[in-house]
Amino acid sequence: MAYVTTSDGVDIFFKDLGPRDAQPIVFHHGWPLSSDDWDAQVLFFLQKGYRVVAHDRRGHGRSSETGTGHDMDHYAADVAAVSDHLDLRNAVHIGHSTGGGEVARYVARHGEPNGRVARAVLVSAVPPLMVKTENNPGGLPIEVFDGFRAALAANRAQFFLDVPSGPFYGYNREGAKVDQGVIQNWWRQGMMGSAKAHYDGIKAFSETDQTQDLKAISVPTLVLHGEDDQIVPIGASAHQSIKLLKNGTLKTYPGFGHGMLTVNADVLNADLLAFVQG
């Protein structure tokens, strides 16, 4: 297992697979998961000959538990530490949900300024801002995220069963084909991480305004979102992000939910590959 230690002493776990001289595809996972959530994409891109890198966010998966730094600034700086350690160049950064926010901040503040990024992909991503404010009337009320915090603090293990069993993968929709293995794998990844990191991470993914991050990105950026996303509503996220990006392309999927990278991997992988090759 490979780790890099950040400037504030946190050990970040990462996978680095495939030919070292191939173009890097860097994956950024969602809350409260780990790099394992990208298994379907990791195997797919390895088979296509790419170098694949995926890390566990601080306090998540196999990275260090820490009481501090659970915010987008630290998330992005941790990615920069991995990228610098591996000297990744011409990389494509792909982020899901909270990982999409991580991608936006990393590319805007570290990746583009250092000439390391070729393209970016935001999948079911949280930018520009999830919470409802006076300037963001289409966002979700703060009470929604307070409910997340209360459920996590009361019984994290049960909460981490309820989320994938219901809205995350759309398994609460009539006629949905429920995959217990997918639910159990979500629970496994979540329970590997730190309750403190997950609790603080709710604020990070819901209350971080990334308007300026999106405006600063100039590399080609693909925005993918399911039209039946019950976790990150498409109207307040993808439809707003595409207005802010200088070089963005939006693709939406009727009927697809938040966890479409897993349950619709065949469709998503083909679209990701087409964009990477474009």
Q: Which residues are catalytic?
A: 97, 229, 258
Q: Provide the 10 A C-beta neighbour count for residue 266.
A: 9
The answer to whether 198 and 59 are in contact (CB under 8 A) is: yes
Measured over all CA atoms, what is the biggest interatomic distance in the chain, rounded to whole angstroms? Answer: 49
What's the token pair of residue 175?
Answer: 């006629």
Measure the N-to-C terminal CA separation of the chain; round to a whole number of Å: 33
The closest of 45, 231, 209 to 123, measured between CA atoms, is 231
What's the token pair of residue 165?
Answer: 């069993």
Amino acid found at 174: E
CA dist 246 and 229 (Å) reads: 25
Based on its alpha-carbon atoms, the radius of gyration of the chain, rounded to whole angstroms, reads: 17
**How many alpha carbons fall within 13 Å on the CB side of residue 24?**
22
CA 159 to chain centre: 20
Helices and strands, counts by H and E, the chain = 10, 8
Query: Strand, coil or helix: what is 18?
Result: coil
CA dist 262 and 256 (Å) reads: 11
The answer to whether 211 and 104 are in contact (CB under 8 A) is: no
Amino acid found at 186: W
